[in-house]
Amino acid sequence: MNQTREVVRAWAHCRHGLCPGYLQEEVDAERVETAFTFKDNGGRGSVPGVERSFVELLWTDQEQAACPSCGTPRELTDQERPQYEASGYDPMGLVNSGAGGFNAQVQNSEADERMAAMEAQIAKLTAALEKNEKKAD
Ligand SMILES: [Zn+2]
């Protein structure tokens, strides 16, 4: 087993999507890469090279580990969150369910259902009328 350690730039964020700490903060982190060769894992002979490895990011400053907003442990990542092309929709619209957003508590009223049934009947009758007009031509 071989371990290499270096201090790198990393990004910290809160795990809770609705917490203000969810926005990434650039921090220093210790990048620890642990590598195992084929021989380390019980292989015989002289197959060279690394068979498997993994990377961990550790806090260089433990005081930064807690979310400044809610106090829960934050996550570290070596990638800045990508910014996708704006679609025009609020990316948090479904989560926040603000004005005009999705609200699971809202149910159709009886009047809404009657109106939907009437609209469906009107569409059926319109289609039947159009069919008859075509026959008459
Ligand atoms: Zn938080």
* SS3 of residue 124 by DSSP: helix
CA of 18 to the centre of ligand 1 (A): 8
What type of residue is 92? M
- CA 131, 133, 135, 137 torsion-angle sign: negative
CA of 75 to the centre of ligand 1 (A): 10
CA of 76 to the centre of ligand 1 (A): 13
Q: pLDDT tens per residue, the chain (137 residues)? A: 999 999 999 999 999 988 999 999 999 999 999 999 988 888 887 788 899 999 999 999 999 999 999 999 999 999 999 888 888 777 777 777 666 555 566 677 888 889 989 999 999 999 999 999 888 77
- CA–CA distance, 12 with 89 (Å, rounded to integer): 26
Quick one: pLDDT at residue 62?
Answer: 94
Quick one: pLDDT at residue 49?
Answer: 86
Quick one: pLDDT at residue 65?
Answer: 96
- Residues 94 and 102: beta-carbon distance below 8 Å: yes
CA of 95 to the centre of ligand 1 (A): 16
